[in-house]
Amino acid sequence: MDKEAAATRLFTLVHMYIVIPDFSVSHSTIEITNSSEFDLHLTKQRIIMKDTIQTMMIHSFLHLQSFLQRSTRALSASDDGMATAEYAIVLVGATSFAGILVALLKSDAIRSLISQLITNALSMV
């Protein structure tokens, strides 16, 4: 499965399981008859709470939806040019290593060490 299909599937699955609750209670649909002052106050507080919860749920859903859309775009983004950059980094590293190796092998200390190693190896045989 490619990145774009995986991202689309993830977005679809999350979108299917996230449901915004239906808080269809509004100020005009609640009828209060024969209520005391306290009951009226409680009803108003409940309406405010439901409106607040509805607003919070909608904002949360919108943030999640925008996060999923950004993630989908990031996952399905093309990787063109990445191989070229990786090759360039590897070539610079290999060239640096080769330069250091040549400088070390040209030094007198390394030459004498290598010649001792070869002399010892040949004397054992």
Cα-Cα-Cα-Cα torsion 112, 113, 117, 123, nearest 10 degrees, comes to: 40
pTM of this structure = 0.33
Question: What is the residue-averaged pLDDT of the chain?
Answer: 74
Say if residue 48's pLDDT is above 80.
Answer: yes
Distance between CA atoms of residues 63 and 12, nearest Å: 16
Say if residue 21's pLDDT is above 50.
Answer: no
pLDDT above 70 covers a percentage of the chain that reads: 63
Range ranked top by mean pLDDT from 36-50, 63-77, 98-112: 98-112
Structure confidence at residue 80 (pLDDT)? 62
Structure confidence at residue 60 (pLDDT)? 83
**Is residue 95 very low, low, confident or very high in pLDDT (cuts 50, 70, 90)?**
very high
Range ranked top by mean pLDDT from 17-21, 64-68, 98-102, 103-107: 98-102
Burial label for 112, CB within 10 Å (0-12, 13-18, 19+), is exposed
Structure confidence at residue 74 (pLDDT)? 76
